Amino acid sequence: MATGSQGDGRGSAGESLLQQHKEKHFTAGEMVRDAIIGVSDGLTVPFALAAGLSGTNSSSSTVLTAGIAEVVAGAISMGLGGFLAAKSEEDHYNRELEREQDEVIKLPDTEAAEIGEIFAQYGLEPHEYALVVAGLRKRPQAWVDFMMKFELGLEKPEPKRAIQSALTISIAYAVGGLVPLSPYMFIHESSRAMVVSVAVTLVALLLFGYVKGRLTGSQPIKSALQTAIIGAIASAAAYGMAKVVAA
């Protein structure tokens, strides 16, 4: 009875320690990454385009028309790029999976030796990982999964990942792109609209950079400033180039 009580005590202490120690990692996932890509480009590219057209003294309606056309084209292009990238990752994973499944059957000793090489990278000796190797050899599917993750560094893609990536990037790009264009919907004079667009977009870039920094675990303030500076440089370059060409 005493031994059981001690074991329960140790278990409770272990659970208490686990509850106290909660590691903070970036777990936002691939969908949030896609949204970040879409919003980032959506805020920056139409912003630079609108600033450039404003530099040629184009009317607000012209800037708005060109901007919306760019947002639509950009959203489609970015979404297609995300779809193709996700499909390429999926195809690559499936090819490597078939190869590993074949090698586990035809070259079991070679694959077992590769498991040893993986553990050796962490400083483990053969007698320390021998039982793990033997256990994996009895479980072909677990063996293949182990090799895919630790030998090749590949994670199994989520079902419908390609479609989700395309939709997330496209929608995020469109949402981001409407921010710098919104002042041109209400202000007829493009030069005045551009001033408001600059202010609105810089605020949006700062907020977006801050949120991105929080999600990715980096310094939020630094991320906010970097994002805003990049957007400002892009729009200033486009505006300056338009002025030079118009002159």
* DSSP assignment letter at 108: H
- Contact (CB, 8 A) for 111 and 133: no
Q: What is the pLDDT along the chain (247 residues), one digit of tens a residue?
A: 444 444 455 455 445 544 554 544 444 477 788 888 888 888 888 888 887 787 777 888 898 999 999 999 999 999 999 999 888 988 888 888 888 888 878 887 888 888 888 888 777 787 777 887 788 788 888 888 888 888 778 788 787 888 989 999 999 999 999 998 999 999 888 888 888 988 898 888 888 888 878 776 678 888 888 888 887 777 677 667 766 765 5
- Contact (CB, 8 A) for 231 and 47: yes
For the chain, what is the domain count? 1
Is residue 23 one of the residues assigned to a domain?
A: no
Is residue 2 one of the residues assigned to a domain?
A: no
Domain that holds residue 53: 30-246
Is residue 90 one of the residues assigned to a domain?
A: yes
For 142-210, the DSSP string reads HHHHHIIIIIS---PPPTTHHHHHHHHHHHHHHHHHHHHHHHHHH-SSHHHHHHHHHHHHHHHHHHHHH
Is residue 130 one of the residues assigned to a domain?
A: yes
Is residue 19 one of the residues assigned to a domain?
A: no
Is residue 45 one of the residues assigned to a domain?
A: yes
Q: What is the pLDDT of residue 144?
A: 82
- Contact (CB, 8 A) for 111 and 103: yes
* DSSP assignment letter at 22: -
Give the pLDDT confidence of 109-130 residue by residue, as tens digits: 888 888 888 888 777 787 777 8
Give the pLDDT confidence of 137-147 residue by residue, as tens digits: 888 888 888 88
Is residue 6 one of the residues assigned to a domain?
A: no
Is residue 3 one of the residues assigned to a domain?
A: no
The first and second tokens of residue 99, run together, are 């190869």
The first and second tokens of residue 181, run together, are 């264009």
